[in-house]
Structure 1
Amino acid sequence: MILRLCCIKVKLFIFGSYFCNTVYSEAELRLLATLRGERALSDLADDLDRSLSYVSELVTQMEEKNLLHTVRSGKTRRVRRSQTKAIELFDRFVLRYPHIPFPELLDGATLRVLYYLDTPATATELADSTEVHRSTVHRSLSPLQHRGLVYRTNGKYALNGEFGELATVAREFAHHRHQNRIENHVDAYTILWESLDEFLVQTDEGVDAEPFLPTGPERFQEYGLPLLTRQRRYYLYNESKTDLSASELCCHMIVIDYGARSQSYCLLLLAATDIDRGELQSLAERYDVEEIVSDLLTYLDTEGEVRADSLPGWTEFEKLAREYEVDV
């Protein structure tokens, strides 16, 4: 019994640490809503009616998230907000509706839930997407529903008219979080795909950090398919994965480059591995490449008799397969 309780506490601690790193707190949002221009730290503490030590710690925390920047003027520490789209959009709502306590309404899990509320969704759908309990979804959206920002009809939640852009605010805050994570490791990058908690990124520099999993052309050699790779490197940021399946690699390759050459390499990968088609089709939908993946599978099943314009003739593909010693 004691062992079971200890395991539960460990799981709660791990989830709590992860959750804290993927949301923005009411205190952080309140500071963003309060801060105008550049302010001395002591003045900001007065504005927030909080102690100087509390605000100093909060500012340091937010600076690590790249929400704020600080400069020193003599002994005075001055604070200004980062110039990001997420903060600009958030500010529009704060200024347009000063009677609505957005920092209080959008803290914790609420931004996570709003990320997927760009279209109407049930509590179950939102819970599955955000990986929180349905009760958390109801609890997060209830205050917004009470104030008319969200409504519920036919069992689905939806944002109310003029507040529809709150979903965009949530997505921009997630995008900002992803940017901050990769900028801790490289100077130049391009985010090719992203969701609430993960993203696929291209960079010219190597990233040696645990949440970043190498992907793209260089991973094909693990399946006996050594491809010529360019200087560019590709990574999937995901805090819960330790490796990638062939299905994921195929989808990543298409996101990276959906040209004829990349699709041919994906055909080789699909032919060379005992791939789980259910997993592949599910991932293809997640990465928004389901049409291309469907074309690839149909091509292989019909031995090229049914093929998209971007795919090679079957004879040409057989020749390529022989070069890589893949049976088709």
Structure 2
Amino acid sequence: MCNIVYTEAELRALEALQGESTVSGLAEELNRSRSYMSELVTRMESKGLVHTSREGKQKQINRSDARAIELFDSFVQRYTHIPFPELLGGATLRILYCLQSPASASQLAEQVGVHRSTVHRSLSPLENRGMVYKSDGKYRLNDDFEELSTVAREFAHLRHRHRIEDHTESFTILWESLDEFLVQTHTDIEEDAFHLTGPELFQAYDLPLMARQRRYYLYSETVAEVSPAELCCHMIVIDDGTRSQSYCLLLLSEMAIDRDEVLQAAQKYEVDEQVSNLLEYLDTEGGSRSGRLPRWEEFRELADEYGVAV
């Protein structure tokens, strides 16, 4: 799996890039060779940190207008004595993404996909400066630096946007995590890491659901295909109206999805309450029914129409 990280050199160049500059100008300011800086700018552009344009023989460099960079700037300007590029480079931003709430090194390592030693090594310099501290075996952000987790999340959002912008200009990210996101677009995307989901995928289970010319994809480099449990959760994220929930009920009934699997997926996509309501609705044959779920008689008619036993 290719997890994009931002290096110290990239963040240092980002810090130095105030207003428009050139490769030569940036190389001189950072005391680097022009060839080194040219390669660095190319990498930064590939990650969405900067954009470039040509004016004659000169390549003009400008920062991205992403919120991640604005927040990064605010910390750099507020704490001028702290070397943020040095502290946040490598795996650190990825670890801080998961530090919205207190977490142990083992928990962070599992969530980020690194060794515990990497967690300790990355957070130790922040701990030495009082930005992070440990209590009861868990790392926590100091109150003054709690927003660093938001900075990390915005950098993840920047990565996700840059990935989808390679395929379409019109899109909406509906859900995202450190390395995955659920996106709505009008464009067909044919790339291994983009997995078709949403209404169109219901057709694979003989449950045709109109998609209104929209396409929905899960971006993930770790899954081979979208499971029925994930599809159910994706559909609720996309639209939790009565019609969508009715089709989720059909899918849950037709595929006999493992309860633990669907509840685990629901927690991941933050639709725990809706999925619990669906399962309870099926368990009680409509006896326990929230406002957006159909009457049991209506659902039975829909199930009969598709030959689904309930």
Q: Which amino acid aligns with 1:316?
A: E
Is 1:214 aligned to residue 207 of structure 2?
no
Is 1:30 aligned to residue 12 of structure 2?
yes
Other-structure match for 1:258 = 240
Paired residues in the alignment total 310
Cα distance, 1:316 vs structure 2: 1.1
Cα distance, 1:277 vs structure 2: 1.1
Of 134, 144, 153, 1:162 maps to: 144
Cα distance, 1:121 vs structure 2: 1.2
Other-structure match for 1:133 = 115
Structure with the larger RCO, 1 or 2 (CA within 8 Å, 6+ apart):
2
Q: Determine helix, strand or coil for the equivalent of 1:294.
A: helix
Distance in 2 (alpha carbons) for counterparts of 1:276 and 1:107: 41
Cα distance, 1:77 vs structure 2: 2.1
Q: Which runs of 5+ in 2 are unaligned?
A: none
Q: Which amino acid aligns with 1:302?
A: T
Cα distance, 1:208 vs structure 2: 1.0
Cα distance, 1:196 vs structure 2: 0.3
- 1:1-40 aligned within 5 A: 18-19=2-3, 22-40=4-22
Percent identical pairs in the alignment equals: 62
Deviates more, 1:251-260 or 1:122-131: 122-131
Is 1:284 aligned to residue 266 of structure 2?
yes
Distance in 1 (alpha carbons) for counterparts of 2:144 and 2:35: 38
Other-structure match for 2:78 = 96
Q: Which amino acid aligns with 1:259?
A: G
Q: Which amino acid aligns with 2:27?
A: A
Of 121, 126, 133, 1:144 maps to: 126
Cα distance, 1:269 vs structure 2: 0.3
Q: Which amino acid aligns with 1:221?
A: Q
Cα distance, 1:40 vs structure 2: 2.3
- 1:1-328 aligned within 5 A: 18-19=2-3, 22-328=4-310
Distance in 2 (alpha carbons) for counterparts of 1:230 and 1:73: 43
Distance in 2 (alpha carbons) for counterparts of 1:38 and 1:84: 16
Cα distance, 1:48 vs structure 2: 0.7
Cα distance, 1:229 vs structure 2: 2.4
Q: Determine helix, strand or coil for the equivalent of 2:308.
A: coil
Q: What is the CA RMSD across the aligned residues, in angstroms?
A: 1.0
Deviates more, 1:265-274 or 1:35-44: 35-44
Could you state the TM-score of these two structures normalised by the residue count of structure 1? 0.93
Distance in 2 (alpha carbons) for counterparts of 1:307 and 1:255: 19
